[in-house]
Amino acid sequence: MQSLVSAKFLLLVGESFPVRRALLNSRFAWFHSSVQCMSQINRESLTLSSIGVKSEQIEIEPKIISKSNKVKPLGLASSEVLNSKRKPFGIGEKKIVRAKEKQKIDNAPFAAKSFSELGIPEVLIERLGKEGFNVPTDVQSAAVPTILKNHDVIIQSYTGSGKTLAYLLPILSVIGPLRGEIRECDVDGGEAGKKLGVEAVIVAPSRELGMQIVREFERILGVDNKKVVQQLVGGANRTRQEEALKKNKPAIVVGTPGRIAELSASGKLRTHGCQYLVLDEVDELLSFNFREDMHRLLEHVGRRSGGDLKSNAKKAERQLIMVSATVPFSVVRAAKSWGSDPLLVQAKKIVPLETLSPEPVNLSPNSSSNSTKPSKAVVESLPPALKHYYCVVRLQHKVDTLRRCIHALDAKFVIVFMNHTKQLKDVVFKLEARGVKAAELHGDLGKLGRSTTLKKFKNGEVRVLVTNELSARGLDVAECDLVVNLDLPTDSIHYAHRAGRTGRLGRKGTVLTICEESEVFVVRKLQKQLEIPITCCDFVEGKLLVTEEETTLSSAS
């Protein structure tokens, strides 16, 4: 508790404050220990109806203040509510008061059969249909109506389950050209609205993920509306980004913490009036690496200056949406601290964060402690259809085993994970020498090099992408059919995100960990923590051969 208070205090002090340095060490420890804390999720889950979500008719009891400052009673049909409750606010306008706790709703299905059940505008549903999205995934069914009802949320569901659309759809239902209604600022000639600054800020931990999210927005918005969203990732030309911000006045920006914080601090990006702050891969964003930029964003985006930063009114000015397949208790704690009565939204249940309690578990499989207990932070993070194998070889035979595996499984899109950038080149060289088209992807490559490599991998020019943790989060290559750990991941969270690059959205996928004899205990710990069978195998005469009975969890300890 004391370290938490210290850490929070530190977040409020500036660079030059003398205690900052003294606190840094304890704060570092806090960040890390909190990432290791697991939530013991209370089974007392809510239904959409009990949190007040209803797809056909949404009732909001409190009053909102209209542009003309007249108090308007609510009780509107869903589309009216959607289009009125989040109008942009700016010069001469009063910000609309966010209405929460107040919603009374029934019968929204957790597994909706069509997007029309989720209360999003018709024009958006039409765009979805054109892009081949006809049925929402489970997490989208749960999250879209909940976000539309203004709740701050953590969205947690397994990798490849469609979490991006789960927050993108409610945002596009309220801001941008697909919201289904002409906005008051548009009627004013558009200029008033254009001066307001951005309305949604989406933060992702890597350029690749940021660019991927932009593409998803552009896909739904359509070619004519591309300028509604702008990419603000690091590594790209900052001046060009500033010019585009000035010229296009995007409603939505998507980027990496450093670049968004930089542009916001310089006054080129106006985020105080922002309605949505989305943190995609939130557990990564809350890591020590991003602490200062994230602090700035959490303090400034959607918050007007002055007043008590911790007051509920202050918190309620923006809607906070946190997203990840893995939700350690540190994220729950951050959501409670930065959000307003947030909910944990999963595919089949919605839980108030108040019901979750910390459960300290060491997620590192390399640790000497016996903490192999399944952890709630990771057990629901992997698609159930994935097949997990491990293969024991000598270090010098790892690449050859990789090649044999690719041929045995006839894998077409392979992602290979390693821990050290230096060794990636060597593996690519060896694979190419054996006739397998391969390329490396890592942070030392420039932005252009990274996107060219990724493009080649996606269009099939490159069969094997040899990479590091950079690609573990969020990368969506639907066809990826094999993930290989050529080096062991550092913990079960990293295993989950790496493995999740395959088997996306119900597709088949295989994960192979190639390890040495001395590392087998780590694999056993991983399978225990993740509650998945990881089967020992070998590759003989071009075929995958299971060399031990499928290891059950009980015998794995």
Please give the residue ranges that form the binding site for ligand ATP (CB under 6 A).
Answer: 133, 135-137, 140, 159-165, 325, 474, 476, 478, 500, 504-505
Token pair 């008033």 is found at: 192
Whichever of 144 and 514 has its CB closer to ligand ATP, that residue is 144
Q: DSSP string spanning 154-200?
A: EEE--TTS-HHHHHHHHHHHHSSTTSSS--HHHHTTSHHHHTS--SE
Shortest approach of ligand ATP to residue 424 CB, angstroms? 21
Q: How far is the CB of 276 from ligand ATP (least distance, A)?
A: 17
Q: Which is nearer to ligand ATP, 172 or 393 (CB)?
A: 172
Alpha helices in 89-157 (DSSP H): 122-130, 138-148
- Enumerate the β-bridge partners of residue 417: 467, 485
Smallest gap from Cβ 333 to ligand ATP, in A, equals 21
Helix (H) or strand (E) holding 254: strand 252-255
Question: Distance of CA 22 to CAs 13, 26, 30, Å?
Answer: 12, 8, 14
Measured CA to CA, the distance from residue 131 to residue 416 in angstroms comes to 30
By the 8 A CB rule, do 514 and 485 touch?
Answer: yes
The C-alpha atoms of residue 461 and residue 378 are separated, in whole angstroms, by 34
| Shortest CB 134 distance to ligand ATP, Å | 7
Q: Residue 99 or 345: which CB sits closer to ligand ATP?
A: 345
Burial (CB < 10 A; 0-12, 13-18, 19+), residue 321, is buried
Measured CA to CA, the distance from residue 465 to residue 454 in angstroms comes to: 8
State which residue, 177 or 500, has the beta carbon closest to ligand ATP: 500
Q: Which is nearer to ligand ATP, 4 or 111 (CB)?
A: 111
| Closer residue to ligand ATP (CB): 62 or 129 | 129
Paired sense of beta strands 64-65 and 71-72, if any: antiparallel
| Closest distance to ligand ATP from the beta carbon of 115 (Å) | 8
93 in Cβ contact with 100 (< 8 Å): no
For residue 138, the tally of other CB atoms under 10 A from its CB is 17
The two three-digit tokens of residue 132, written as one number: 């081949």
Q: Name which of 301 and 325 has its Cβ closer to ligand ATP.
A: 325
Q: Which residue, 231 or 340, has its beta carbon nearer to ligand ATP? A: 231
**Minimum distance of ligand ATP from residue 137's CB (angstroms):** 5
Q: CB of residue 163 vs ligand ATP: minimum separation in angstroms? A: 4
CB 223 within 8 A of CB 238: no
DSSP secondary structure letter of residue 46:
B
Residues 470, 348: contact at Cβ < 8 Å?
A: no
CB of 155 to ligand ATP, least distance (A): 9
Nearer to ligand ATP, 111 or 536 (CB): 111
Q: How far is the CB of 271 from ligand ATP (least distance, A)?
A: 23
Residue closer to ligand ATP, measured from CB, 48 or 185: 48
Q: How deeply is 359 buried, as exposed, middle or buried, from its count of CB atoms within 10 A (0-12, 13-18, 19+)?
A: middle
Nearest-approach distance from CB 277 to ligand ATP, in angstroms: 17
Mapped onto helix, strand or coil, the DSSP state of residue 108 is: coil
Phi–psi pair at 285, nearest 5 degrees: -65, -30
